A and B are shown apart, each in its own frame.
Chain A
Amino acid sequence: MLKKAKRLAVLTGCLSLSLVCFAYGEEPEHETLVIDLDNPCGVLVHPETGKVYTASKLGVHCYTPADHKAVFEVSEFPEDIYGKGPKYDIGPLGLGLLNNEHLVVGDGSRPDGEELVRVYKLDGKKKSEGDAVYTLGPITAGEKSAKGEGNFYGVAVNESAIFVTCNGDDTKGWVSKADIVDGKPQELVPFIATKEATGTDAPVAITFTPDGSELVIGQMGEMNVANDSLLTFYDPGTGELKRSLKTELSDIAGLAYSPQTGKLYAVDFSWVDSTKGGLFELAVDGETVNATKIMSLDKPTSLAFDKEGQLYLTQFGSEVPEGAESAGSLIRVEPGL
């Protein structure tokens, strides 16, 4: 693992736009910032520092745009396997911010019923998994979950609580919640049984509406079924389902609103046919969602805007670049979306 950690590669040539800036047809201008990420699943942009955090199998990395360097923030997570074929090794998954000083990490590196949500202080020091200042969970097997919850894929935080999507137990499809009291997160508890509310599996993507009034959750649906993802809206205070809308996307893995335009964007992993994956704009018109493909991506997993409107995306990828060991990457899309 240490050897692998040292191999985390930054595409050093990306400052030269002629080399690494791509624009395919109508696709927005974008560039690959970091390669050799091993199954990255989460991305977060710190609103004050502009640093970009990504979660991959090996841990949490921090990319600093100013000097174009990426380093480990947290490492030494265990590993788990997702899927039956294809199979993917996974580690930490979702990322969120608590008080701008603490990083919330939803984990996927253990079996369901044992997984944790960790909170780390952003102190500039490299940390190990166990160096968390708060550890939330696990949600063990019991009345609310026959086998226990896990695969904490998405994290969203407001002033009241940390919300975590759980892609482990398909019976309830929980979104879990840890209330925040005096700045400290409390116990992680199952909050919204999304499968009972919508009839569809796998809450994965999560964000808030721009005004913070609604929790927006992408219900991934079944991996081996195409076009079954839902876009859903909940009251974050009560957990009441407000709307559940079909999207015709297959596996929504990330959701984010553009700070510039207020438009909603999603990434679709598209498990059954990865050639159909990509970045989509989701325009909600009453009970209808019009999904417009913005750019093709290779198994995209997460997205986040910075305050200037730059969009950061992670993808698993398929082709391992020369000199690298993993196909995953971090991509930046120019403002305008």
Chain B
Amino acid sequence: MKKTIFAFSTSILVMGGFSFLLADEPAVPFGLPALEHPEDNPPTPEKIELGKLLYFDPRLSRNNDISCATCHDPNKGWSNGEPNAAGFEGKRGDRNSPTVINSAYYTTQFWDGRAATLEHQALGPIANPIEMNMSLDEAIGRIQKSKGYQERFQQVFGSEPSPELVAKAIAAFERTVLSGNAPYDKYVAGDETAMSESAVRGWKLFKGAANCSACHSGANFTDNAFHNIGVGVKDGKNTDVGRFAVSNLEGDTGAFKTPTLREIARTGPYMHNGSMETLEEVVQHYNKGGNANPYLDEEIFELGLSEQDIADLVTFMKEGLSSEDYPLVEAPTDLPD
């Protein structure tokens, strides 16, 4: 898909960690790269607002009780605080709700990367029988009955609501859920006081002996790739085939997308199956070299970290990657009639 690169980076002057918005474009927090928007879905304030309404609207679910925000709650790190979120009539899947934060930068969506874009991703949960359990025709039918939505779709798209346009609006909103300008960003920009000594030690371990940056790399702390890290392994076998279901490459068995670590302190529990409650558990898992299985990534091996090392790594992730500009979005008080 061709993409338009909005030159946010040229519209913002960065001085000492502060960003000044010069153009009428959504701001990208300090430390994050320019955002790429699909050529056929440029952002506008009205579209983003429409996407926000849809994101929080439970009418897109069969029982009118589940919205996108139910499982991707801004107050819970844009995840939902549970290992596996409860969907239609309390049904639960096998995978943790991935945070929406900085999903704008992912090159694929879902834990197994089966959606290429946020637009492709947005409709999946609506139709999923254990999530919102609504056919797209039914969901659009409800939206079309709303005079308020009709007016907004006409204003934004000049068209009736459709699945494609619902997806575009939700995706445009999700691309505004960004976290940067964290102590880490200020530290790497030269402010040596931005992180505590423990966090600095943790950062050095992160990109060194702890090998974290082998996968959690770049500004969004992800390589956008798929790795088998030895989670969800029973009797030496992977309980979830992960990326293999999409790629059909044997080596992708049990491999899942590397998630961002931005705002990681808020997005637990962790791992694709939500099996780890704390970051300490996560680091201990890596320190022991994961759980053996035939497809374990070669980057997963015993690390020999001390308790102090583990504490420093956790401090780095909690302190260094939590932004004072956390993207907290309040739910709309009035959804369209």
Contacts and interface: CB of A to CB of B under 8 A. Distances in A.
Interface of A: 83-87, 112, 143, 146-147, 169-171, 195-196, 199-201, 222-225, 228, 271-272
B208 A224 contact: no
Interface stretch (B62-70, B79-87, B173-181, B214-222): B214-222
Interface in B219-238: 219, 223-226, 228
Contacts of B301: 147
23 contacts: A84-B228, A84-B253, A84-B294, A85-B251, A85-B295, A86-B250, A86-B251, A143-B208, A143-B209, A146-B303, A170-B215, A171-B208, A201-B223, A222-B225, A222-B226, A224-B226, A224-B249, A224-B251, A224-B255, A225-B107, A225-B225, A228-B224, A272-B247
Contacts of A84: 228, 250-251, 253, 294-295, 297
B211 A199 contact: no
B37 interface: no
Interface centre among A85, A170, A199 (most CB of B within 10 A): A170
Nearest to A273: B247
B217 A199 contact: yes
B120 to A, nearest CB: 15
Contacts of B209: 143, 146
Contacts of B225: 201, 222, 224-225
Interface centre among B214, B243, B247 (most CB of A within 10 A): B214
By secondary structure, the B interface counts as: loop
Interface of B: 107, 207-211, 213-215, 217-219, 223-226, 228, 243, 247, 249-253, 255, 294-295, 297-299, 301, 303
B211 A171 contact: yes
A196 B295 contact: no
Contacts of A170: 214-215, 299
Contact of B207 (A85, A196, A200, A222): A196
B106 to A, nearest CB: 11
B251 A83 contact: yes
Given A85-B250, A195-B213, A228 B107 contact: yes
A271 B247 CA distance: 11
A86 B219 CA distance: 31
B326 to A, nearest CB: 24
Contact of B253 (A85, A86, A147, A271): A85
B223 A224 contact: no
Nearest to A199: B218
A111 to B, nearest CB: 9
B250 A222 contact: no
Contacts of A272: 247, 249
Nearest to B215: A170
A202 to B, nearest CB: 10
A225 B207 contact: no
A81 to B, nearest CB: 10
Contacts of B298: 112
B195 to A, nearest CB: 18
Given A85-B253, A199-B219, A200-B217, 20 more contacts: A83-B251, A84-B251, A85-B252, A112-B298, A146-B210, A147-B301, A171-B208, A171-B214, A171-B299, A195-B213, A199-B218, A201-B223, A222-B225, A222-B226, A223-B251, A224-B226, A224-B251, A224-B252, A225-B226, A271-B249
A84 B230 CA distance: 14
Given A86-B250, A222-B224, A224-B225, A195 B217 contact: yes
A228 B218 CA distance: 14
Contact of B249 (A85, A143, A146, A169): A85
Contacts of A146: 208-211, 303
B251 A222 contact: no
B247 A224 contact: yes
A224 B258 CA distance: 12
A222 B227 CA distance: 10
Q: Top 4 closest A-B pairs, CB basis?
A: A85-B250, A84-B251, A222-B225, A199-B218
Contacts of B294: 84
Contacts of B207: 171, 196
A103 to B, nearest CB: 29
B72 to A, nearest CB: 24
